[in-house]
Amino acid sequence: MRLVTRQQWGARSPRSVVPLPRSAIDTTVFHYSGADADEQANHANCAGRVRGIQRYHMDTRGWLDIAYSFLVCVHGYVFAGRGFDVRTAATGPANGHSLAVCFLGNDSAGRADVTTAAQQAHVEIARAVNQRYGRVMRYAGHRDFMATACPGDELYRYIRSAEFARASAPSDPSKELRWLLPWLHWKLGGEEGPRPRGAPKKIPEGAWAVADAINAGEFERR
């Protein structure tokens, strides 16, 4: 994921940060800015658009910070907004249980506004959210919670498509680390035998915690 940090895009400090418990978050809500002006031909100008949105949200709307968790430009970059585990100001009644991702663009008739690069960036941020919280989030549009056309028909169709669901699904650690549990059993004095296939020469840092999490069922198995 090509992440642009708050420092890199020149963010102002938030007036305050309201934490959102991980256990409360069950939805990733997608938005769009709805402005042609935000579809910058030169990526170097995108940071300025994000600063403009933050300035409007803080100075005109009186909010604590830019409303969104993350923002995505047409060039496929993800801008850090409020980030993970922070309550947003983007989706009214859903702010208490969701993260918010905003596409910097419009929904022009007869034109593909959500570029291939932007589609991929949406996939990557959705996958990152799912992996961070250890479960597949519900994907929704701003319109699912409030009377608005946001995030536009084009983006709304995409985030609700089977293609998006498949691409953004988190990897299953129990499959990727299928060597880990038999190896640990072997190392702890269980049945003697050859090193399990795929096991590295040295137990990676954090392997014990991953094994405990798998055993505890903290990772969703698909």
Q: What is the pLDDT of residue 209?
A: 53
Strands (E), the chain: 3-4, 27-32, 70-72, 78-80, 98-103, 138-141
Q: What is the mean pLDDT of the chain?
A: 85
pLDDT at position 205 over 80: no
Q: What is the pLDDT of residue 221?
A: 38
Q: What would the mean pLDDT of 107-112 be, rounded to a whole number?
A: 85
Q: What domains lie within the chain, and their CATH numbers? A: 3-168 (3.40.80.10), 173-216 (no CATH)
Asked which of 48-57, 85-94, 166-175, 210-219 is least confident by mean pLDDT, the reply is 210-219
Q: What is the pLDDT of residue 218?
A: 47
Q: What would the mean pLDDT of 149-156 be, rounded to a whole number?
A: 96
Q: What would the mean pLDDT of 70-78 be, rounded to a whole number?
A: 97
Give Cα separations from 32 to 20, 36, 107, 143, 181 (angstroms): 23, 11, 8, 11, 44
pLDDT at position 178 over 70: no
Q: Residue 201 region, left (φ>0) first, then alpha (ψ -120 to 50), else beta?
A: alpha
CB–CB of 199/193 below 8 Å?
Answer: no
Q: Residue 130 region, left (φ>0) first, then alpha (ψ -120 to 50), else beta?
A: alpha
pLDDT category of residue 214 using cuts at 50, 70 and 90: very low
Q: What would the mean pLDDT of 137-153 be, rounded to a whole number?
A: 96
**% of the chain at pLDDT higher than 70:** 77
Residue predicted with more confidence, 183 or 133: 133
Q: What would the mean pLDDT of 164-186 be, rounded to a whole number?
A: 65
Asked which of 5-14, 35-44, 113-122, 197-206 is least confident by mean pLDDT, the reply is 197-206
Q: What would the mean pLDDT of 93-104 be, rounded to a whole number?
A: 97
pLDDT tens, residue by residue, 24-43: 999 999 999 998 888 888 99
Predicted TM-score of the model (pTM): 0.77
CB–CB of 34/107 below 8 Å?
Answer: yes
Q: Which residues contact 31 (CB under 8 A, 6 or more apart)?
A: 68, 90, 91, 100, 101, 102, 103, 141, 142, 150, 151
- Cα separation, 102 vs 106, in Å, equals 11
Q: Which residues contact 28 (CB under 8 A, 6 or more apart)?
A: 98, 99, 100, 101, 126, 129, 137, 138, 139, 140
86 SS3 class: strand
Give Cα separations from 5 to 12, 14, 77, 144, 214 (angstroms): 12, 14, 10, 29, 32
Please, where are the H alpha helices in 44-161? 46-55, 116-133, 153-159
